[in-house]
Structure 1
Amino acid sequence: MRQRTAMLVVMLLVLLGLNGCQSPATVSELRGTGDLGLVIERATGSVLVVETTGNSVLGRIEGLGDLSHASVVYSRDGRYGYVFGRDGGLTKVDLLTRSIEDRVIQSGNSIGGAISQDGRYVAVSNYEPGGVKVFDSETLELVADVPATYTNAQGETARSKTVGLVDAPGNRFVFSLFDANEIWTLDVAGDTPDVTRYDAGKAPYDALITPDGRFYIAGLFGEDGLSMLDLWQPEAGAIDILPGYGKGEQQLPVYKMPHLEGWAIAGGRAFVPAVGHHQVLVADMNDWSLMERIPVQGQPVFVMASPDNRQIWVSFAHPRNDVVQVIDARTREIIRTLEPGKAVLHMEFTPRGERVWISARDSNRVTVYDTRTLEPVASFSAEKPSGIFFTSRAHSLGL
């Protein structure tokens, strides 16, 4: 008994000694990822790792290639970000160690990507060569190569640029073929990826999926209106909605096409940036009829709803791209005009919507606003900042 007691005392002392050997730095670095995010520095091929609790920059990750049109999706736990670069680079970064975990050059020109519902696969949408590639999210090993082939007007087999790639319920991806005038679904739930094709309008250039994952909507560059696929009943095919919305005959030159991901869905209404007009359109989502036109100060690019759907924040194309306007979703009136800096490129709400972060490329600055007071509460320097992506996107469809 005495010997056993002595052994227990020795083991306790060893455990206490090991615990005492942990440095304060190691303990202080333990943290969750729920308030983290990445800010794209497009001119330097780098990203800033940021946290939204204290509105601060934690560090910089370099060596990500051409980020002139970059986007990010996240692993389920929010630790890893997958950065899609314009040069075809797919880079997996670790937000906690602030380092590159892995990187592959998977095409000559890519335009974005998505992560599957179960987090197992990362898909990339490519211009050159046209198609979608799917990778294992853990290893970045190629799982599937889906060429976007079609028959062109000359009767030849060609490959189309792919755009508007989003994740959808049922472990599917949905994307559009710009040159083929089609929408494809890619089912990765089984052992073999399965593709289904649908006819769409002329030249779909971007797309979104509604927050509930039901409707996939593609903007059309070649005709008025949009194409919509109901993923609850895809056998019905894509239908035309909002005639008159698309490119069509423009009264004003279009300096930058709107990003459809920035559509605001609030209170049964869709707030849509009007191409080539100084307007935000309001559509009734019951029948997709046009309800109202809200005059704004320029051509809108992003039209985004706050998480509580009470506010609609609007950014603009050149030359009046140093302004953001805030619309009350209930009254549909502009309640504030803000000036975050020169060349505003992106906005991102914190998960519960108490703050919104805005990047101003030509001011080399990110400004944080309080969404209640509409006043700036913080700002920091960044090298030509563009996209802002918080880890809360890991738990939302289509982001």
Structure 2
Amino acid sequence: MMPWPLNTLLLGLLAASTFAAAADAPVAVVEAKIDGNALYQTNCASCHGADRLGLNGPALLPGNLERLRRPEAIKTIAEGRIATQMPGFSDKLNAAEVKALTDLIYTPLASTPVWGLKEMQASRIAHQTNKLPDTPVFTADPLNLFIVVELGDHHATILDGDKFEPITRFATRYALHGGPKFSPDGRYVYFASRDGWVAKYDIWNLTLISEIRVGINTRNLAISSDGRYAMIANYLPHSMVVLDTQDLRPVKIIDVKDDSGKSSRVSAVYDAAPRNSFIAALKDIPEVWEFSYTDKNGTPSFQPRRIQLDDYVDDFFFDGSYTHLIGSSRGGVGQVIDLNAGKRITTVALPGMPHLGSGITWAYQGKPVLATPNLKEGVVTVVDMTNWQIEKQIPTLGPGFFMRSHENTPYAWVDVFNGTKDRDVIQIIDKQKLEVIAQLRPSPGKVAAHTEFSRDGKYALVSIWENDGELVIYDAKTLQVVKRLPMKKPSGKYNVFNKITRSAGTSH
């Protein structure tokens, strides 16, 4: 073989070195600017509001996202978020678009939205000012009614719990949340919407009484056991609002801050009837606040009694005496707080992400137990409330959201709402065997959720969580279907008697 000519070899080496240098040199790439706001309006505004102030999804502002790091926000946008209705967008958006959305939601608004006393008073609507009859205008048992919230077209149905026939159906504000609450006698029902509207409805007279907007992004409301006050928990602004239930006029606005001035969203507020107080947990400050609503001199001061903790409380549950509060965060750490002593007394090793707001209690082998579904894992956790130790982990088909029972039934019903499959199944747990003994498919292929019982516990109502959904009514003893009622995405139904008597089988 003849050797390469020298000049040819030199030319080849020169060409190779030139190519290598060109490959190492930075290349000027002009990237098209991604319009994060346009992406937001297309993909996010329907749930989180065109102004990012929240609708059925929370407000997306830097102050609301302090506990969500940017990498987690990117992951949430791409993959969705467990235990919420937040879907993943990785099939629609590329990595650069997800980053642009993340940058947008961590950018402050040009001006901070304000919703104070002036705005509340201007929003108030008195729909009915005349005195109405003090007896129901219908013949059904007023304590065995169900309020059915239909999210599909933003209506509510009042359902006769004996005949299972609708009495009336009326429009509600957009995206009700947190469950309606009742006056102590069951005559009035109060609703709160995600965008801050509170409404008072007279069930006996089938009439909307009044409405007021108390916030921009609202979590839930509670009604005092004496029926005099409503307290509302807000995500935005960071406040709690006390209303006079007589006419929904504001009594007090409470700025939610810690000693350093750091403000916080409010996770939830509930009435603790035996204590004559409201209890609230804070989203961004590791504290629980208690507000007494009794005062011998007239109007209570609603000054918070602050219980400082080592961890946040996103969700919580009371024991039967309302002495102990059992709280958890998205991290899954359970805290047992003695409300009388004002401190945490122990922790509970709760796996995954327990949904304590949907917890229920019953007597098992002579002792009270708490059972909670799990938003992240296929398990129901049963806790011995005498020593706060786990009694049993009951395997289920997947992560659930709602768990319900009744004092007159041996069974607890739990869904698979957060599962990736089997979301059309309701699982029946024997409360003494602590095991699943039956699986029901009320409407195969459609999501089944949120069981609620009739006043006497004889019937169980299950929601088919679809726009073309229905209520499926079961005989709670035989587990056989007795009736079906078409509904528009019936997200929840609430029995008047079970709620005002604080049935151990339902949420409070």
Q: Tell me which interval the TM-score lies in, with the shorter structure as reference length.
A: 0.7 to 0.9
Change (3 A) 1:159 1:66: farther
Change (3 A) 1:246 1:125: farther
Amino acid at match of 2:437: I
| 1:239 match | 345
Moved more, 45-54 or 267-276: 267-276
Provide the C-alpha distance between the structure 2 equivalents of 1:52 and 1:299, rounded to a whole number of angstroms.
30
Residue 272, structure 1, aligned to residue 368, structure 2? no
Moved more, 173-182 or 304-313: 304-313
| 2:475 match | 370
| 1:395 match | 501
Residue 327, structure 1, aligned to residue 417, structure 2? no
Whether the aligned pair in 2 keeps the contact of 1:164 and 1:218 (CA below 8 Å) is no
Provide the C-alpha distance between the structure 1 equivalents of 2:195 and 2:289, rounded to a whole number of angstroms.
24
Change (3 A) 1:148 1:246: farther
SS at match of 1:127: strand
Change (3 A) 1:356 1:212: farther
Provide the C-alpha distance between the structure 1 equivalents of 2:141 and 2:391, rounded to a whole number of angstroms.
43
Provide the C-alpha distance between the structure 1 equivalents of 2:263 and 2:210, rounded to a whole number of angstroms.
28
| 1:196 match | 305
| 1:19 match | none
| 2:449 match | 345
Provide the C-alpha distance between the structure 2 equivalents of 1:266 and 1:309, rounded to a whole number of angstroms.
11
Provide the C-alpha distance between the structure 2 equivalents of 1:217 and 1:246, rounded to a whole number of angstroms.
16
| 1:291 match | 391
Whether the aligned pair in 1 keeps the contact of 2:405 and 2:452 (CA below 8 Å) is no
Amino acid at match of 2:250: L
Whether the aligned pair in 1 keeps the contact of 2:176 and 2:191 (CA below 8 Å) is no
Provide the C-alpha distance between the structure 1 equivalents of 2:287 and 2:304, rounded to a whole number of angstroms.
12
Provide the C-alpha distance between the structure 1 equivalents of 2:496 and 2:406, rounded to a whole number of angstroms.
16
| 1:310 match | 410
Residue 215, structure 1, aligned to residue 324, structure 2? yes
SS at match of 1:369: strand
Whether the aligned pair in 2 keeps the contact of 1:178 and 1:204 (CA below 8 Å) is yes
Q: Which of 280, 292, 302 lines up with 1:175 in the alignment?
A: 280
Q: Which of 260, 266, 271 lines up with 2:356 in the alignment?
A: 260
Provide the C-alpha distance between the structure 2 equivalents of 1:27 and 1:69, rounded to a whole number of angstroms.
27
| 1:361 match | 465
Provide the C-alpha distance between the structure 2 equivalents of 1:291 and 1:209, rounded to a whole number of angstroms.
18
Deviation at 1:377, TM superposition (A): 1.0
| 1:380 match | 485
Provide the C-alpha distance between the structure 2 equivalents of 1:27 and 1:143, rounded to a whole number of angstroms.
29
| 1:114 match | 222
| 1:4 match | none
SS at match of 2:222: strand
Q: Which of 252, 255, 262 lines up with 1:158 in the alignment?
A: 262
| 1:37 match | 146
| 1:102 match | 210
Whether the aligned pair in 2 keeps the contact of 1:40 and 1:387 (CA below 8 Å) is yes
- RMSD of aligned Cα (Å): 2.1
Provide the C-alpha distance between the structure 2 equivalents of 1:27 and 1:33, rounded to a whole number of angstroms.
7
Provide the C-alpha distance between the structure 2 equivalents of 1:175 and 1:145, rounded to a whole number of angstroms.
14
Whether the aligned pair in 1 keeps the contact of 2:217 and 2:234 (CA below 8 Å) is yes
Q: What do residues 84-109 of structure 1 show as CA deviations (whole Å, max 9, x unaligned)?
A: 11111111112233231111111011
Deviation at 1:192, TM superposition (A): 1.5
| 1:5 match | none
| 1:81 match | 189
- Would you tell me which structure has more helix in proportion to its own residues? 2
Moved more, 268-277 or 387-396: 268-277
Change (3 A) 1:74 1:167: same
Provide the C-alpha distance between the structure 1 equivalents of 2:412 and 2:136, rounded to a whole number of angstroms.
41
SS at match of 1:159: coil
How many residue pairs align between the two structures?
Answer: 356
Provide the C-alpha distance between the structure 1 equivalents of 2:219 and 2:327, rounded to a whole number of angstroms.
15
TM-score, normalised by the number of residues in structure 2: 0.66
Provide the C-alpha distance between the structure 2 equivalents of 1:82 and 1:133, rounded to a whole number of angstroms.
14
Change (3 A) 1:297 1:318: closer
Amino acid at match of 1:181: P
Provide the C-alpha distance between the structure 2 equivalents of 1:387 and 1:175, rounded to a whole number of angstroms.
23
Provide the C-alpha distance between the structure 2 equivalents of 1:334 and 1:79, rounded to a whole number of angstroms.
37
TM-score, normalised by the number of residues in structure 1: 0.83
Whether the aligned pair in 2 keeps the contact of 1:43 and 1:67 (CA below 8 Å) is no
Gaps of 5+ in 2: 1-134
- Would you tell me which structure has more strand in proportion to its own residues? 1
Amino acid at match of 2:464: A
| 1:58 match | 167
Q: What do residues 131-170 of structure 1 show as CA deviations (whole Å, max 9, x unaligned)?
A: 221111111111222221125xxx6x23211123111123
SS at match of 2:484: strand
| Bigger relative CO (Cα 8 Å, ≥ 6 apart) | 1
Amino acid at match of 2:436: I
SS at match of 1:301: coil
Change (3 A) 1:27 1:195: closer
Amino acid at match of 1:179: D
Structure 1 or 2, whichever has the larger Rg, is 2
Q: What do residues 35-60 of structure 1 show as CA deviations (whole Å, max 9, x unaligned)?
A: 11211011322101111011111111
- Percent identical: 25
Provide the C-alpha distance between the structure 1 equivalents of 2:387 and 2:397, rounded to a whole number of angstroms.
28
Residue 225, structure 1, aligned to residue 327, structure 2? no
Provide the C-alpha distance between the structure 1 equivalents of 2:396 and 2:221, rounded to a whole number of angstroms.
31
Provide the C-alpha distance between the structure 1 equivalents of 2:281 and 2:136, rounded to a whole number of angstroms.
47
SS at match of 1:266: strand
Deviation at 1:264, TM superposition (A): 2.1
Deviation at 1:361, TM superposition (A): 1.6
Change (3 A) 1:309 1:228: farther
Change (3 A) 1:325 1:201: farther
Change (3 A) 1:313 1:176: same
